[in-house]
Amino acid sequence: MLWTRFAEVLLGAVLSTCASVLASQVPFTPVDDATLSWSSRPWNERASGDASGNLVFQSLASLLQMMPNSKYPIGHSIARATIPQGTLLHHGRHVGGCPSMDWIAFDPEHAMLFAFGMNGTLQTYITTRDLQLVYFDGSSGNARGGTVDTQDILFWGEPGKREKHELDRLVDGCTWAKQYGMDGILRMEFDFEIMYCDFSQGLELVSTMSSINPWADDDPSGLPSQGPTLPGGHCTPGATFHGLTKESLDAENLQISSQTLGIPPFSYPKGWKGSLPSVDVQAFFAGTWHNRFPGETRVRVDPSSLISLFDPALTSLAEARRSMTRDQYRPANISKADMARWRADIADVMARDLTVKSAIDWQSLARVIQERFGDRLPYMRHLLHEPATNVTVQLARVRKQLIVSLIPYMPRANIGKPEWFAAIARNCAVRLTDHLPRTGFTKQEHLLYHAVEEVLHEICRVYTEAWVDAFDAEKPAALVQELLAKWRDEFDLLMEWLDWPVWIKCDPACGVEESCWVPQGQPWTPDGDHEPRCIRMDFEGFVPPTGLE
């Protein structure tokens, strides 16, 4: 476990004969208050085992990006989001007519997943005004393995409602959203999607057409009639899943559960010539277009409203995380008291005037920090893991990287003295944050500020502690070897703790005939893990499961 190893490294550093006298002259004072500003703490104080600034920072830096939200599909944050007027959205449905409350996608490839069969229909809408949404991070549209914990806690007051139907989640979620003037709920699965509450509000239908698909004659028997195609302007009342009512879906699932799930026989549209491949897998590829920053650009998330279950004030979740690995963290472990506090914060944010916030671009700030250290940290780790054929040369290369990273923060006064190293560490840690107008922050912005502070403090602490050791470059070879080993462990721990989204990538890089994709843990994907891998652009699709869960 990360913090067990952290403790081992700390103990080793204390006992090591290579510990610098200069570093030891700076006092260490443990501080229990997780919200106390890092600028008031000793520069070489380590973040505690319960520190969650790295996790809040990850959430901020991962907003609306497929890769990090697929690697860690169990989301812990929600925020207000806006889709601007004039944005095209797409709705695929199994039947004719038009929806009232249903799902809608950003990319037509995603919508086409649900536009198959005899009556498959693809509709395109344009937003007639800015749409107001609530965004759930993680793979929140996946509806399995904890990915809907935050939704269930918010809508129903308890997690783990797997027996609930997705249509129940749509109806109850929209009931909750409408009280705050929200148009829908923004989630992510293969791609980003919206559970839209009222298609007659904020949307205008600009195109509807019967879809070209290789199952043009497929019309599963046993489904309750959906009725004739409805004339324009008269839409199916109530909530539907791509045109199917809850009763229709239950009947379809009953039919499927009584037989082996398989692909229907191909039947091409009248007049079609040549082959007609299934394009379902293109929904996965469309999702990869939003893999990295800036992610899904048709949505604008408001970080000043970001409410995180990684907030250190939610102590029940902090306690639960102590015995877990990162991919095991679940909102379902929240206590009743913390849940009530979290839901109250959400109600406050949703009812708040949208102009009540600072003008800080938090996503840009997170990006600047990742750009500053996103390449330097992996390179430092590379240098420290190289086989040491000549430790003096290796020390010189590492020392150079310490200098180039810290020199913007080095004053001329008191060079080599304890107060000089303290000034370097402090300048490094606060340069990007000290000037921010904290008096205008929302409660959520104070959490983001603390997270950014904590992340910068840890980065600058590790760099400066290594610089204390490396400043006097003339050392015996045996001591240099010990220092390199010590720094290697420290930088490894730092990168493991940060776990930035910019480091999620396919390695080696994918070729022109491939796309980099991170599975979300669906049962039909190979290996079932969340590690990035290259898939061919002509990939036909995954083998479907033999039955439904």
User: Is the Cβ–Cβ distance between 104 and 123 less than 8 Å?
Assistant: no
Contact, 500 vs 524, CB < 8 A? no
Is position 359 within any domain? no
Q: Which residues of 92-131 are buried (b: 16+ CB within 10 A; e: fewer)?
A: bbbbbbbbbbbbbbbbbbbbbbbbbbbbbbbbbbebeeeb
Q: Are residues 141 and 258 in the same domain?
A: yes
Q: Are residues 28 and 100 in the same domain?
A: no
Same domain, 271 and 416: no
Single residue among 284, 305, 326 that ends a domain in this structure: 305
CB count within 10 Å of CB 344 equals 10
Q: What is the rounded CA–CA span in Å between residue 160 and residue 146?
A: 7
Q: Is 347 left (phi over 0), alpha (psi -120 to 50) or beta?
A: alpha
Co-location of 173 and 218 in the same domain: yes
Question: What does DSSP say about strands 131-136 and 77-83: parallel, antiparallel, or unpaired?
Answer: antiparallel
In a domain, residue 528? The reply is no
**Is 166 contained in some domain?**
yes
Q: Is 424 within the bounds of a domain?
A: yes
Sign for the CA dihedral angle at 445, 449, 450, 452 comes to: positive
Same domain, 10 and 76: no
Number of domains in the chain: 2
Which residues on neighbouring strands pair with residue 103, listed in sequence order? Answer: 195
Q: Say if 262 falls within a structural domain.
A: yes
In a domain, 324, yes or no: no
112/224 same-domain check: yes
If asked whether residues 80 and 144 sit together in one domain, one would say yes
Residues 205 and 113 in one domain: yes
Which residue has 């080793």 as its token pair?
Answer: 12
Same domain, 73 and 125: yes
The reply to whether 232 and 83 lie within a common domain is yes
pTM: 0.87
What residues make up the domain containing 412?
A: 2-50+368-503
Asked whether residue 140 is domain-assigned, the answer is yes
Last residue of a domain, one of 277, 305, 333: 305
Residues facing 207 on adjacent strands: 124
Residue given tokens 């229990």 in the structure block: 32
Alpha helices in 211-270 (DSSP H): 246-257
Q: What is the pLDDT along the chain (549 residues), one digit of tens a residue?
A: 333 343 443 334 433 333 333 333 333 333 345 556 777 889 999 999 999 999 999 999 999 999 999 999 999 999 999 999 999 999 999 887 889 999 999 999 999 999 888 888 999 999 999 999 999 999 999 887 799 999 999 999 988 765 678 999 999 999 999 999 999 999 999 899 999 999 999 999 999 998 888 777 776 534 444 433 444 455 777 898 888 888 877 665 544 444 444 566 777 888 888 888 778 888 889 999 999 999 999 999 999 999 999 999 999 999 999 999 999 999 999 999 999 999 999 999 999 998 999 999 999 999 999 999 999 999 999 999 998 789 999 999 999 999 999 999 999 999 999 999 999 999 999 999 999 999 999 999 999 999 999 999 999 999 999 999 999 978 888 899 999 999 999 999 999 999 999 999 999 999 999 999 998 866 545 555 788 999 999 887 654 444 333
352 is a domain residue: no
User: 35 with 84, same domain?
Assistant: no
Residue that terminates a domain, selected from 488, 503, 518 = 503
Q: Do residues 114 and 221 share a domain? A: yes
